[in-house]
Structure 1
Amino acid sequence: MKEITGTTKLIGILADPIHHVKTPQRMNEHLSTVGYDGVLVPMHTKPAHLAATVNGLRNLENLLGVIVTVPHKTAVLALCDDASEATRLIGAANVVRREADGRLVATMLDGEGFVRGLKDAGRAIKGKSAYLAGAGGAANAIGFALVQAGVSQLTIANRTTARAQDLLERIKSLYPDAVVRVGTADPSGHDLVVNATSLGLAEGDPLPLDTSKLEPTQLVCEIIMQPADTALLKAAQAKGCAIHNGAPMLAGQIALMAEFLGVDAE
């Protein structure tokens, strides 16, 4: 482990529970690689104490900011002073930067991290049609990011249709010319198929979409990191599809988070 001194900058990660998080390992590896004198530490915070914890962060002069994960992504947004329009429309944040005057600026990088992970893997996005399973927190961010990245069409499919429609309307409010529609469990006719639900985390979970409709020309993507080979990805491979697992999304986010927090090589 690197030596921590009085000049070391701090980054936190807020979660509950927190034992399972992988971000500290990845971010500290990144900080070491770029030669930055900083360290990311876990900060176990219960929902009832989130407001007090976040308010206290304003007073930590050597704090760059915090990464925010389950279950705090939605609640933290209202506790910050500023956020981009897209972040406010998404309704959640996963990184908060502390400015020199103690102001807190929030952003959501789940979607941008997913897009960067695809691009880093050499996958084209612009001009492709995309199918998005889910309309929850991560799906919200990914939907906005895919449209921003230039997909030709976005289809949102969710068990509760009203939530898919709500996400569609929020995307259209920011990108009025985007082609967005509400879909069904059938992912056929799209270039990219993205599972942005939590289905696949647990053994025995139902599939997030109708895998019998998958086509060999499609790229099927996961945001789940463990297990690396979900039931969806196995079914996709059996249909001859290319696959993209969840790990590149975290890798993409680490670089984006570092940039947002002001980490530069020394």
Structure 2
Amino acid sequence: MTHEDPTGHPPAGHPPGIPISGTTRLYAVLGDPVAQVQAPALMNPVFASLHIDAVLVPVHARPQHLERVVRGLQSVANLDGMFVTVPHKVAVRRLADRRSPTVEIVGSANVLRREADGSWLAENFDGSGFVAGLVGAGHDPEGRRVTLVGAGGAGSAVAAALLTAGVDRLCVYDSDTAKLDALTARLDTRWPGRVCSLPGPQFGDADIAVNATPLGLRADDPLPFPLDQLPQGAVVADIVMKPRETRLLREAAARGHRVHHGNHMLDGQLDSYRDFFGLK
């Protein structure tokens, strides 16, 4: 198998000047779908800038095949890590040998690392990346009232990170009431009195409103929450990275709200990924 395509160009995304060879280390990003994933565009330039012989590629894993795919990748001796996106962040944590305290609290993981002894460690940087992105964009959540839709893998991580960052109150809504109740119970144990669950997407007094669901990936998706109740000056944040301008953000901007794009969450994780994988 050659490392060049028929046109003579190196494979897309691999660091220029470092041909893929028998020494190349592999990373994978798992999702369903994967067309929207941004991790290769973020990490492959890092490998290039650091002259690291490695490449990150997307792997389309259907939910029913997730365990088989992950177990197979864990058996690939030159694969050092996996990034995880929708809808696998909750399910993948049980496929790791060890889980960080963050993963235990939020119940989801977005990255797995092969350890020196061959075991696999699960970590989650979604929440810390989201908060870092908010702060970097001038929307520090400390002392603010935040309402969040989505109690899944990413939403759980974002919720915990917002509480760690010192939000005054966090209210969460999810149509899956069992998932919502489980998350708010875990959060209330660690941050008592600062978490509430909502019976519906009611955002009338939110300083920051966050979409932590996949709604917005497709052009015909409904809005994850109504915008007509939000007070003027509220920040509307999305974790969807592609498309960059989701329907939620377009309509929020048209109403005069400040908007916060999903790509900031990934950008905010870059240093964490570098440290986690020892990329120097």
Whether TM-score is above 0.5 comes out as: yes
CA distance in 2, matches of 1:16, 1:225: 15
Q: CA deviation at 1:49?
A: 4.8
Counterpart amino acid of residue 41 in structure 2: Q
Match of 2:11 in 1: none
> Using a 3 Å threshold, how does the CA distance of structure 1 residues 101 and 247 change in structure 2: closer, same or farther?
same
Q: CA deviation at 1:35?
A: 4.1
CA distance in 1, matches of 2:95, 2:80: 17
RMSD: 2.4
Counterpart amino acid of residue 100 in structure 1: A
How do 1:1-266 residues align onto structure 2 when only pairs under 5 Å count?
Answer: 1-3=16-18, 4-173=20-189, 175-177=190-192, 179-183=194-198, 184-264=200-280
SS in 1 for 2:90: helix
Q: CA deviation at 1:89?
A: 3.4
CA distance in 2, matches of 1:186, 1:19: 32
Contact 2:206 2:230 in 1 (8 A): no
CA distance in 1, matches of 2:241, 2:123: 22
> Using a 3 Å threshold, how does the CA distance of structure 1 residues 35 and 186 change in structure 2: closer, same or farther?
same
Contact 1:132 1:196 in 2 (8 A): yes
Q: CA deviation at 1:6?
A: 5.0
Contact 2:36 2:242 in 1 (8 A): no
Contact 1:214 1:239 in 2 (8 A): no
Counterpart amino acid of residue 112 in structure 1: S
CA distance in 2, matches of 1:74, 1:160: 14
SS in 2 for 1:119: helix
Contact 1:134 1:197 in 2 (8 A): yes
- For structure 2, which runs of at least 5 residues remain unmatched after alignment? 1-15
CA distance in 1, matches of 2:272, 2:193: 25
SS in 2 for 1:51: helix
Cα deviations across residues 91-148 of structure 1 (Å, max 9, x unaligned)?
A: 2211001011101000122222211211222321222221101222221111111111
> Using a 3 Å threshold, how does the CA distance of structure 1 residues 57 and 99 change in structure 2: closer, same or farther?
farther
Counterpart amino acid of residue 176 in structure 1: W
- For structure 1, which runs of at least 5 residues remain unmatched after alignment? none
Q: CA deviation at 1:47?
A: 4.4
Q: CA deviation at 1:9?
A: 3.1
Counterpart amino acid of residue 229 in structure 2: K
SS in 2 for 1:262: coil
> Using a 3 Å threshold, how does the CA distance of structure 1 residues 47 and 242 change in structure 2: closer, same or farther?
closer
CA distance in 1, matches of 2:191, 2:119: 32
Q: CA deviation at 1:242?
A: 0.9
> Using a 3 Å threshold, how does the CA distance of structure 1 residues 216 and 162 change in structure 2: closer, same or farther?
same
Q: CA deviation at 1:236?
A: 1.9
Contact 1:117 1:251 in 2 (8 A): yes
Normalised by the length of structure 1, the TM-score is 0.87
Q: CA deviation at 1:248?
A: 0.9
SS in 1 for 2:228: helix
CA distance in 2, matches of 1:70, 1:254: 19
CA distance in 2, matches of 1:199, 1:56: 30
Comparing 81-90 and 16-25, the one that deviates more: 16-25
The share of aligned pairs that are identical, in percent, is 41
Counterpart amino acid of residue 146 in structure 2: A
Counterpart amino acid of residue 138 in structure 1: A
